């Protein structure tokens, strides 16, 4: 965990606050790679603390600061509202070290798709693609220009950046974007409906797609949830997880260390190796292939399809 200082706050667009975070003693910050995010811990007096993930949108070579952009979400639990209303220059915030779920690797041809605030992890990726001399294009969609962050920054890339503004009737044509991707890998971040549609198109076309989701729209608890046993292979303990309980909570109660952060299936911190058994994946971290392979699972929300799991804990 890092305690950083808000060095500056600017409006990146309507409803989007850009924060620059630095070490209070001026130390270098831990390294990161394009596509990484940090967890921001939001302590609210008299209310439960929240943890939210924000992509780093600055330059990985600049070890003096992390840059994030916070979209104010009125419908959420209040984390982003709290940041918008309370975070000021000079304040301290607790954040995790950067974590990379995108595993971005520059290739000769790349297609980037961003919806709204999903532009944030894409910015350092296109900078890396440009620096590597890759052939790339960015498709960036938003509601209206005033709500689309970093438009000015993207102008330097000329016609490699295609902008779609829905209030002007402009829409991304996903089938043709995927069809044109051919041998390219597609990196995408944005609202669930955009990523769902893109996953469907890419799956049909057999195109390589890497997405990152900020929210977990999977159902994490159902009426039909059943009890199951989890054997912890490293510690030799066995725990029982009842409906309404999480593996993570039961593991922690048993005194077995298990890292966690968001506890909602979005950050990837609680990823755990599966030794045996069939996980019932309910997170937003793993893609379809990783779910099928089931080598790992997110134990904060995912469960067991059968009666028993063996986990490397
Ligand atoms: S703690 Fe974040 S995915 Fe489980």
Structure confidence at residue 138 (pLDDT): 97
What is the 176 CA–ligand 1 centroid distance (Å)? 35
Best mutation site among 251, 263, 279, 296 for ligand 1 pocket (most ligand atoms within 8 Å of CB): 263
Best mutation site among 38, 215, 265, 286 for ligand 1 pocket (most ligand atoms within 8 Å of CB): 265
Closest-CA residue, ligand 1 atom 3, reads 265
Cβ distance 270 to 259 under 8 Å?
yes
Q: Of all residues in the chain, what percent carry a pLDDT higher than 70?
A: 100
Q: 137: Cβ–Cβ under 8 A, 6 or more apart, which residues?
A: 110, 111, 112, 160, 161, 162
User: What is the Cα Rg of the chain in Å?
Assistant: 20
Q: Does domain 109-212 bear CATH number 3.40.50.80?
A: yes
Structure tokens given for 151:
């438009």
Which atom of ligand 1 is the closest one to the Cα of 261?
1
Structure confidence at residue 302 (pLDDT): 96
Query: How many alpha carbons lie under 13 Å from residue 156 in its C-beta half-sphere?
Result: 6
Smallest Cα–Cα separation from 110: which of 91, 137, 83, 84? Answer: 137
Structure confidence at residue 284 as a pLDDT band (50, 70, 90)? confident
Q: What average pLDDT does the structure give for the chain?
A: 92
Structure confidence at residue 223 (pLDDT): 81
Which atom of ligand 1 is the closest one to the Cα of 268?
3
Is pLDDT at 161 greater than 80 in this prediction? yes
Helices (H), 87-226: 119-131, 151-154, 174-181, 192-205
Best mutation site among 270, 286, 302, 311 for ligand 1 pocket (most ligand atoms within 8 Å of CB): 270
What mean pLDDT do residues 80-94 have? 93
Rounded Cα distance between 117 and 68, Å, is 11
Smallest Cα–Cα separation from 102: which of 220, 263, 273, 268? Answer: 268
Smallest Cα–Cα separation from 297: which of 310, 306, 307? Answer: 310
Query: Strand pairing partners for 309?
Result: 230
Structure confidence at residue 216 (pLDDT): 76
Cβ distance 148 to 140 under 8 Å?
yes
What mean pLDDT do residues 194-208 have? 90
Q: Give phi and psi for 171, each to the nearest 5.
A: -130, 145
Range of weakest confidence among 21-30, 153-162, 207-216, 228-237:
207-216
Q: 212: Cβ–Cβ under 8 A, 6 or more apart, which residues?
A: 35, 37, 55, 101, 102, 118, 121, 188, 189
What helix, strand, coil percent values describe the chain, rounded to 5? Answer: 25, 30, 45
What is the 298 CA–ligand 1 centroid distance (Å)? 6
Pocket lined around ligand 1, Cβ cut-off 6 Å: 260-263, 265-270, 283, 285, 298, 300
Is pLDDT at 75 greater than 80 in this prediction? no
Structure confidence at residue 221 (pLDDT): 77
What is the separation of C-alpha 306 from the centre of its chain, rounded to a whole number of angstroms?
A: 29
Is pLDDT at 93 greater than 80 in this prediction? yes
Best mutation site among 37, 101, 215, 268 for ligand 1 pocket (most ligand atoms within 8 Å of CB): 268
Give the CATH number of domain 2-99: 2.40.30.10
Structure confidence at residue 76 (pLDDT): 72
What is the 264 CA–ligand 1 centroid distance (Å)? 6
Q: What angle do CA 189, 192, 195 make, to 5 degrees?
A: 55
Range of weakest confidence among 42-51, 58-67, 110-119, 138-147:
42-51
Which atom of ligand 1 is the closest one to the Cα of 260?
1
Structure confidence at residue 118 as a pLDDT band (50, 70, 90)? very high
User: Whole-structure pTM over 0.85, yes or no?
Assistant: no
Structure tokens given for 227:
């009890």
Fold topology of 228-311: Ubiquitin-like (UB roll) (3.10.20)
Rounded Cα distance between 18 and 82, Å, is 14
Structure confidence at residue 47 as a pLDDT band (50, 70, 90)? confident
Where are the domains positioned within the chain?
Answer: 2-99, 109-212, 228-311
């Amino acid at each position: 965990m890092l305690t950083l200082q808000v060095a500056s706050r600017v409006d990146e667009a309507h409803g989007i606050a850009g924060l620059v975070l630095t070490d209070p003693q001026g130390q270098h910050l831990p390294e990161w790679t394009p596509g990484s995010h940090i967890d921001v811990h939001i302590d609210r007096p008299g209310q439960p603390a929240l943890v939210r993930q924000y992509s780093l949108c600055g330059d990985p070579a600049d070890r003096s600061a992390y840059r994030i952009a916070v979209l104010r979400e009125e419908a959420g639990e209040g984390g982003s509202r709290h940041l918008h209303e309370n975070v000021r220059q000079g304040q301290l915030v607790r954040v995790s070290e950067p974590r990379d779920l995108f595993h971005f690797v520059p290739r000769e041809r790349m297609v980037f798709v961003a919806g709204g605030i999903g532009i944030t992890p894409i910015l350092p990726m296109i900078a890396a693609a440009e620096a590597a001399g890759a052939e790339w294009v960015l498709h960036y969609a938003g509601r209206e220009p005033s709500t689309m962050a970093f438009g000015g920054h993207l102008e330097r890339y000329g016609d490699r950046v295609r902008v779609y503004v829905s209030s002007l009737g402009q829409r991304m044509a996903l089938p043709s974007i995927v069809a044109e991707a051919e041998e390219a890998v597609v990196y995408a971040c944005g609202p669930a409906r955009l990523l769902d549609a893109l996953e469907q198109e890419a799956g049909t076309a057999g195109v390589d797609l890497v997405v990152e989701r900020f929210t977990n729209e999977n159902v994490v608890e159902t009426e039909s949830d059943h009890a199951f046993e989890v054997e912890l292979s490293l510690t030799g303990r066995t725990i029982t997880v009842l409906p309404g309980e999480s593996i993570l909570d039961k593991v922690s109660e048993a005194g077995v260390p298990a890292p966690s952060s968001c506890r909602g299936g979005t950050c990837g911190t609680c990823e755990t190796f599966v030794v045996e058994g069939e996980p019932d994946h309910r997170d937003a971290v793993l893609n379809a292939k990783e779910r099928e392979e089931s080598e790992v699972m997110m134990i904060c929300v995912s469960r067991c399809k059968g009666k028993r799991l063996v986990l490397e804990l």
